[in-house]
Structure 1
């Protein structure tokens, strides 16, 4: 019996460790910074909303949910072929849950909950936005920094990206990264705000992957 219990404990610990290790790295998060400004000679690119999206994933002790959010509009600017500035608007009404079938009643329930005041309060804050503040290279990776506004809070986040400039189009693709939702006052089920949740909490980490494709204006 002791051997069985020990094996069970080791298995649970291994699964827990592996799950934590699989989570994407949190974006460096600081106070909002001054937006990047492109030179007057910069080439303007209009965001192709049909081919741009944000993938999200949220976690709780009993599992995870994932889906997408649409980009409503935006533009990128390049100088000498290098990304110099940009901003895009996120349509919070477009939050979509993909891990639950659309005809399952829990699909509508979760979607509505995410849009409610418990989470992103979409009725009041129908859009969010990201505005570039800088781009740099660190350890061989291209790092994009920008002010991310969710609800009534703005923080500067830095995460790794690839930028593919083909002349007529620019595609900006982030690596998967996480943000800590508590820093944007998304409080529901967060142990950062409530101490009596037991195992009913929802992780503060939200995984994101951003793909923005833009065409020369």
Structure 2
């Protein structure tokens, strides 16, 4: 019994020293905002619209070359429709920036802060994060793939959770073909420094 306790203590001490002297290589890679882009696509009964929005700042962190965290800030004043031109484009851009949608005069930025990262395959991860839009923070999950200095993330957002209810048949009756679906898609192509 005494030998068993001594062996157990010896193993515990070896494990403690091994863990104490094993260092995790942590690295933070900044997102190159000039070479990165975020595309959005929103859907309505009669079709869809798509466009871009710019990244203001951001980074991804890695522990031993595996994604472990990150944060991205979006400049909401840069909302841009790319499937329309002229007067219709200007009207939609203005409406998206208005209080009906993102209220960019008050809420100039939105943010995504990683809280949990799970490896799902080689270079692939599932991320849980806090998404803040219009000052409202909700938990979201999305997938991200990383290859060298490039990363691609896909995220589906339910706008009504962020008090963006304009044209939502979840809140308004008789919208018919004027209804706008609650969820929109974001695809981020990131270049890391």
Common fold by TM > 0.5: yes
The answer for the alignment partner of 2:53 in structure 1 is 69
TM-score of the two chains, using structure 1 as the length reference: 0.73
Say which is worse superposed, 88-97 or 195-204, in terms of deviation: 195-204
User: What is the deviation of 1:174?
Assistant: 1.6
What is aligned with 2:109? 127
- The equivalent residue for 1:173 is 152
| 2:43 pairs with 1:59 | yes
State how far apart, in whole Å, the 1-side matches of 2:175 and 2:62 are: 47
Shift of 1:63: 1.4
Question: Does 2:184 match 1:200?
Answer: no
* Residue aligning to 1:144: 127
TM alignment of 1:74-93, pairs within 5 A? 74-93=58-77
Corresponding residue SS for 1:113: helix
Please provide the CA RMSD for this pair.
1.9
Aligned to 1:117, which of 99, 104, 108?
99
With a CA cutoff of 8 Å and minimum separation of 6, indicate the structure with the bigger relative contact order: 1
Runs of at least 4 residues off by over 6 Å: none
Distance 1:182 1:100, change over 3 A: same
Q: SS where residue 48 of structure 1 aligns?
A: coil
Aligned-pair CA distance for 1:134:
1.3
How far apart are the structure 2 equivalents of 1:205 and 1:76? 26
Are the aligned partners of 2:142 and 2:156 in contact in 1 as well (CA < 8 Å)?
no
Tell me the equivalent position of 2:144: 161
Aligned length: 170
The whole-number CA distance in structure 2 between the counterparts of 1:113 and 1:82 is: 40
Distance in 2 of aligned mates of 1:210 and 1:134 = 19
Q: In 1, distance between residues paired with 2:67 and 2:125?
A: 11
Where in structure 1 are there 5+ consecutive unaligned residues?
1-38
| Cα distance in 2 between the residues matched to 1:64 and 1:156 | 26
Change (3 A) 1:40 1:116: farther
Once the two structures are superposed, residues 59-105 of structure 1 have per-residue CA deviations (whole angstroms, 9 ceiling, x without a partner) of 1112111001110111222111111121111000111110012xx11
Q: Could you tell me which runs of 5 or more consecutive residues in structure 2 were left unpaired when the two chains were aligned.
A: 1-22
